Amino acid sequence: MCTTIVVGRNRSATGRVIVAHSEELGRNSAHRVSVVPARDVAAGERFPLHSGGDVPQPGRLARHVCTRIFDKRHYPGDHTSGINEHGVAVANNMSMMRGVPESAMFDVVPGGVIWTEFLQLLLERATSASEGVAFVGETCERHGLSCDSGTMIAVADADEAWWVELAREGHWAAERVGDNEVSVRANCYRIPGFADSFGDPANQQDRYNLDRHEFLDLRLSALPTVSVPALMALLREVYEGTPLYQERPDGSPFGTGVRTIARLNTEGCTVIEPRAGSAARLAHLMWCCLSTSLTGVFVPFHVGVSRVEVH
């Protein structure tokens, strides 16, 4: 269960789109930062899907830096956020679809695509946000969604950003984030019409989601421009100083029944900057914290970094 903020270029302090994301997948899904080099693809090579079937590969896969699930025994997916050499950034939020019971939410849909596979495929091939949106929509229609009842993907480049909301059976909708807009997603659909048609009614009205939407919408509306440090601060929020704030007898803001933005079980927290004006290997940047954002440190990783050291 995640939180994502997308900043339109005119609201951004950098003059470019910024994406901020907090990943709370659970299931012991520790994360790592990974640098994936570009490579040429052999003729006829295809991308194997966890749920069966495959997707054709392009002639070349793009270099990217990303957060990835460390141990696949706990979750079959892989990529959870990242940015590629073309400055295409991606992040994801789960949602709940109308008519799919909680007991069946994570069932394998034969031939379907897992949300992590959508992110990996986007990072490997998209050269722009709009191209990435078209790919997600076409792939959703052709294969459908698996291992989730619903999901939404933020797809951005330096100049524009989109939300693509997906439901099972090939249903999807896309909405561009305005240049003067900051758009927030917790864990329910927000595209008008699509949310009413496909969102689970209880989930759409759950304070677990609405508290984050309302708090972040209010805080962000008060900022004339939104900077990278401001996004890091928002990802660290536990609502201290507001009516939402609660703490346990030991002083911890976690585990109180209020769904804070910062979480004790965060596996990866990123602020992603598609940038322009310098070499691609230096321009595009992902700031990453691999623990709770409340006390963790955001470390910068350029797309061109040669490797991530193991200590």
pLDDT at 311: 56
Domains detected in the chain: 3-302 (3.60.60.10)
Which candidate, 88, 91, 157, 152, places its Cα nearest to that of 124?
88
pLDDT at 308: 66
pLDDT at 69: 86
Kindly report the length of the chain. 311
Beta bridge partners of 7: 18, 182
From CA 305, how far away is CA 303, in angstroms rounded? Answer: 6
Please report the beta strands in 119-259, taking only residues with DSSP state E, as ranges in sequence order.
150-156, 161-167, 172-177, 182-185
From CA 95, how far away is CA 204, in angstroms rounded? Answer: 9
Q: How many CB atoms lie within 10 A of CB 199?
A: 22
CA dihedral (139, 205, 193, 147) in degrees, to 10, reads 10
pLDDT at 128: 97
Along the 311 residues of the chain, how does pLDDT read in single tens digits? 799 999 999 999 999 999 999 998 776 678 889 999 999 999 999 999 999 999 999 999 999 999 998 777 767 788 899 999 999 999 999 999 999 988 888 888 999 999 999 999 999 999 999 999 999 999 999 999 999 889 999 999 999 999 999 999 999 999 999 999 999 999 999 999 999 999 999 999 999 999 999 999 999 999 999 999 999 999 999 999 999 999 999 999 998 999 999 998 888 899 999 987 767 677 899 999 998 899 999 999 999 887 766 65
pLDDT at 309: 67
pLDDT at 256: 92
